[in-house]
Structure 1
Amino acid sequence: MARMRGFGNDWNWIVAGLVSAALLVGLSFLTHFPFLVSAVIAALVFAGLVFVLAPRQLFEGLDLSSLSGSRVAFARELLAQAQPAADRLAAAARTISDKDMAAKVKNLSDIAADVIARVETKPESAPAVRRFLTYYVPQAAEVSEGYAALANRRVPSQARLANVGAVITKLQDAFVHYADSLADSELGTLDVDLRLIQESLKEDIGR
């Protein structure tokens, strides 16, 4: 059963408040609507915007009835730790002027986002990428930010840049490994499904 979107408590309230206030002023003073009618319309717009702009909840729309609460809680905790680091990684990629290195960090960011999205879609897969989400993604963010800071110095140390760049290159191997391992676990389920289908076909039509 899909969960309802919760009301947020930050930017969605601010945007909704500004829009509804502007609407109230416009209706009351520019179009000369009765103030009470304008206030009701503005209140409805405010409530609607708060709801529409509310941050999406984790696992929203998923049927979690087949999973234990501990598994869902575990996946939620991992994603809560990993998402800020993934955001930092994406931000670091945008601040690196070297195109080749920026592309490598962007690739790390894309892989991290893909793994996070997969875990959100299948919370039961979280244990397979626990180390990736809790160690490699935060470390990659820290290293990438360090590279950006070094590169932005007036006289950056080329030796240190090369060392940090080599670590970023090696991190790509780890990221690909974990992304592939997650895909392999999904393909393992596919293999089981195929065997079951083949057995059913053999029983039903002798093939």
Structure 2
Amino acid sequence: MRWLFGNDWNWIAAGAVSAALLLGLSFLTHFPFLVSLVIAALVFAGLVFVLAPRQLFEGLDLGSIGGGQVAFARELLAQAQPAADKLAAAASSIADKDMKAKVKNLSDIAADVISRVEAKPASAPSVRRFLTYYVPQAAEVAEGYATLAKRRAPSQVRLSKVGAVITKLQDAFVHYADSLADSELGTLDVDLRLIQESLKEDIGR
């Protein structure tokens, strides 16, 4: 059942809380042991469910989406999410305000693209390179900058070089985010033209 209700951590946390509750009810409030056991079991089951991490594509009607599309998107997101998490962590560890803002912007864009691909798995091919190359590389560069900056006597030349790469990555991230938005617009231009033609035909405008 663990594959359905998350990883081991939610089970461990639920077990610890339930055990503490069982001991508290039994020995501190003097509840009957059987009643305490039932309450603890119910709390355990509830916590396992509540603490379970959200699953990919949760809420989507996967039956209406091609299995190949979902599998491909799942594979890309499985590669990108750990790197996106590292990118967010690196942003929080950088002291320089300007560089911190730039790395956070990269992190925000990565999170946005990931959430949009999860919501629409068919869009995954348009950002494949972004998810499998740029996000992991950006995470490595950001972590490298954070490590360099924490040295007692950091090399300003190296910091400048790494910072320049982070600045250039902004353009790549924005490019892929915008290309994903363009793909989501789909036939908007065609739809607008058809609406305008219909309006002219129906009401002369």
Q: Is the structural similarity TM-score above 0.5?
A: yes
| Letter paired with 1:117 | S
Gaps of 5+ in 1: none
TM-superposed CA distance for 1:55, in Å, is 1.1
CA contact (8 A) 2:7 2:53 kept: no
**1:47 paired to 2:37:** no
**CA RMSD, aligned part only?**
1.8
Matched residue, 2:121: 123
TM-superposed CA distance for 1:194, in Å, is 4.0
CA contact (8 A) 2:57 2:119 kept: yes
| Letter paired with 1:169 | T
Q: Taking every aligned residue pair, what percent have the same amino acid on both sides?
A: 85
Matched residue, 2:183: 185
Matched residue, 1:150: 148
Shift in CA distance, 195/50, structure 1 to aligned 2, threshold 3 Å: farther
Matches within 5 A, 1:1-207: 6-195=4-193, 205=202
Gaps of 5+ in 2: none
CA distance in 1, matches of 2:7, 2:162: 39
- TM-score, with length taken from structure 2: 0.92
TM-superposed CA distance for 1:197, in Å, is 5.1
CA distance in 1, matches of 2:13, 2:197: 57
TM-superposed CA distance for 1:66, in Å, is 2.6
| Letter paired with 2:100 | A
Shift in CA distance, 129/89, structure 1 to aligned 2, threshold 3 Å: same
TM-superposed CA distance for 1:143, in Å, is 0.5
Shift in CA distance, 20/175, structure 1 to aligned 2, threshold 3 Å: same
CA contact (8 A) 1:6 1:51 kept: no
Structure 1 segments (4+ residues) deviating >3 Å: 189-203
Shift in CA distance, 68/8, structure 1 to aligned 2, threshold 3 Å: same
Aligned residue pairs, count: 202
